[in-house]
Amino acid sequence: MTRPFVFITRKISDNVVSMLEQHFLVEMWCEEEEVIPRELLMEKAKQADALLTMLTDKIDEELLTQSPYLKVVANLAVGYDNIDLEAAKKNNVTVTNTPDVLTDTTADLTFSLLTATARRIPEAIDYIKDDQWKSWSPYMLAGSDIHHKTIGIVGLGNIGQAVAKRATGFDMEILYYNRSRKQDIESELGVKYVSFEDLLNRSDFVVCMTPLSKETEGMFNREVFKQMKDTAIFINSSRGGVVNEEDLFKALESGEIKAAGLDVFQNEPIGADHPLLTLDQVVALPHIGSSSLETRTEMMELAARNIKQVLNGGKALTPVHI
Ligand code: DGY
C-alpha cells in the first residue's frame, strides 16, 4: 500500500520533515522566500492527502474541490483567513492552525512595536547612523510616554490577553473591546470592557488584535481614526485587511492621529514605495509577529503533529472549528 502523500508549501525545518517522513511520503517546495506558484500548488494538492501551508497560500474552493484525496490542511499560523473554511467543510477537509505556541512571541513583538513607535526608535537609529547627532538637545527625538498611559486592545483573544499582561508592567490603564465581553478574566488581567467608541476616544494606544473576517475587514477606516485622540498611536500586528490603508495614511498625514506601528499590510509583501513608508511617524515591520526561532520551530512541529493525527485517523490537536 502506498503511503499517504504530504506536500509542504515552503522550506521548513529538516527535523520536522524527517519526522513526517517516518510515516508519509513527503515533498516540499524548497524555497524559503518565494511563494509556491499557484499552478504547482494546485497540481500537488490534487495528489496530496495533507498540505502543510503558509498564510501566503490561497486555499480556496477551486483548490479544495479539485483535491480528491485531501484530508487535512495544516496552516503554519494562528490566522486562517487564507483558507475558505466553508469549502473545506463541504469537502470534508480538516483545517488546523497553530494557536498557543505563538501567543507570547507575538505579544512580545506587538509590545516591541508599540515601544519602538512611541519612542521613535527606528528614527533614532537612523539619526545616529546618518551622522546627524551633533549635540544633546532637550527635545531631540522626543517621543511619547508609554507608562501610565491608556492602552485600548481591540480583540481580547489569547494574544490580546498576553499584550494586556505586558501593559500591566508599564502601569497602563487597560481597556478592551471584544465581540463578547470576557468578564471572567477582567479582574485577573486588570482590564476594563468598554464600547468600541469609548476605547477609541480614551486610548493613547489603540492596538488591533482582531482576526480578519468578513465582519472586521476594513473596520479601521477614516471614521474610526477620526474618533481617536490626535496624540493616539495605532498598532496593528493582526492582519492588514482589518485596516483601510488609504484612510490610515490620510489620518496620519493630516495629524488626526500621531503615529502607527504596523507589522501587517493589506497586500503583502509591500514594496519600499508603499505610501505609508514615506511617513516618518510610521514604523513598519515585514509580518514577523511570531518569528522567533523557538516559536517558528514549535509551530512547524505542531502543524506536523496535526497532519500525523488526522492521517492516522485520529482527531486534530488544534482544529479550526468551522
Ligand atoms: C499568524 O500566526 O497568524 C501570524 O500572523 C504569523 O506570524
Three cell numbers at 136?
A: 544633546
The reply to whether 320 falls in a domain is no
294 pLDDT higher than 90: yes
Structurally, how many domains does the chain consist of? 2
Task: Give the pLDDT of residue 295.
Answer: 98
CA of 133 to the centre of ligand 1 (A): 37
Task: Give the pLDDT of residue 167.
Answer: 98
The reply to whether 12 falls in a domain is yes
Tell me: do 123 and 249 sit in the same domain.
Answer: yes
**Residue 119 near residue 143, CB atoms below 8 Å:** yes
Tell me: do 81 and 209 sit in the same domain.
Answer: no
Mean pLDDT of 170-181: 98
Query: pLDDT digit string (tens) for 181-212?
Result: 999 999 999 999 999 999 999 999 999 999 99
Tell me: do 111 and 81 sit in the same domain.
Answer: no
Tell me: do 72 and 23 sit in the same domain.
Answer: yes
Mutate to test the pocket of ligand 1, among 102, 108, 237, 264 (most ligand atoms within 8 A of CB): 102
Distance CA 128, CA 122 (A): 10
Atom of ligand 1 nearest to the CA of 106: 7
Query: pLDDT digit string (tens) for 53-106?
Result: 999 999 999 999 999 999 999 999 999 999 999 999 999 999 999 999 999 999
The reply to whether 51 falls in a domain is yes
Mutate to test the pocket of ligand 1, among 53, 55, 263, 320 (most ligand atoms within 8 A of CB): 55
Tell me: do 23 and 68 sit in the same domain.
Answer: yes
Instruction: Provide the residue type at 319 as one letter.
Output: P
Tell me: do 41 and 186 sit in the same domain.
Answer: no
Note if 86 is an active site residue: no
77 lines ligand 1 (CB under 6 A): yes
List 10, 120, 166, 287, catalytic entry:
287
Residue whose cell numbers read 509556491: 36
Mean pLDDT of 30-59: 97
pLDDT band at 284 (very low <50, low <70, confident <90, very high): very high
Task: Determine the structural domain holding residue 149 and report its residue range.
Answer: 103-284
Tell me: do 116 and 223 sit in the same domain.
Answer: yes
Q: Whose CA is nearest to atom 4 of ligand 1?
A: 77
Q: What percent of the chain has pLDDT over 70?
A: 100
* 287: region left, alpha or beta (phi > 0 left; psi from -120 to 50 alpha): left
List 239, 245, 256, 296, catalytic entry:
239
Stronger pLDDT, 1 or 141, i.e. the higher one: 141
Distance CA 64, CA 71 (A): 10
Q: What percent of the chain has pLDDT over 90?
A: 98
78 lines ligand 1 (CB under 6 A): yes
290 lines ligand 1 (CB under 6 A): yes
The reply to whether 319 falls in a domain is no
Tell me: do 84 and 122 sit in the same domain.
Answer: no
CA of 79 to the centre of ligand 1 (A): 6
Return mean pLDDT, the chain: 98
Atom of ligand 1 nearest to the CA of 289: 7
Note if 148 is an active site residue: no
Domain with residue 92: its CATH number is: 3.40.50.720
Closest CA to 106 of 141, 158, 179, 167: 158
Tell me: do 156 and 270 sit in the same domain.
Answer: yes
Mean pLDDT of 154-163: 98
Task: Give the pLDDT of residue 322.
Answer: 84
CA of 254 to the centre of ligand 1 (A): 31
Tell me: do 186 and 81 sit in the same domain.
Answer: no
The reply to whether 242 falls in a domain is yes
The reply to whether 18 falls in a domain is yes
* 7: region left, alpha or beta (phi > 0 left; psi from -120 to 50 alpha): beta
Note if 23 is an active site residue: no
CA of 102 to the centre of ligand 1 (A): 8
Atom of ligand 1 nearest to the CA of 287: 7
The reply to whether 269 falls in a domain is yes
pLDDT band at 1 (very low <50, low <70, confident <90, very high): confident
CA of 110 to the centre of ligand 1 (A): 12
Tell me: do 242 and 274 sit in the same domain.
Answer: yes
Tell me: do 305 and 238 sit in the same domain.
Answer: no
Distance CA 179, CA 156 (A): 9
289 lines ligand 1 (CB under 6 A): yes
Q: Give the N- to C-terminal CA distance of the chain in Å, as an integer.
A: 32
Residue whose cell numbers read 500586528: 237
Atom of ligand 1 nearest to the CA of 291: 7
The reply to whether 248 falls in a domain is yes
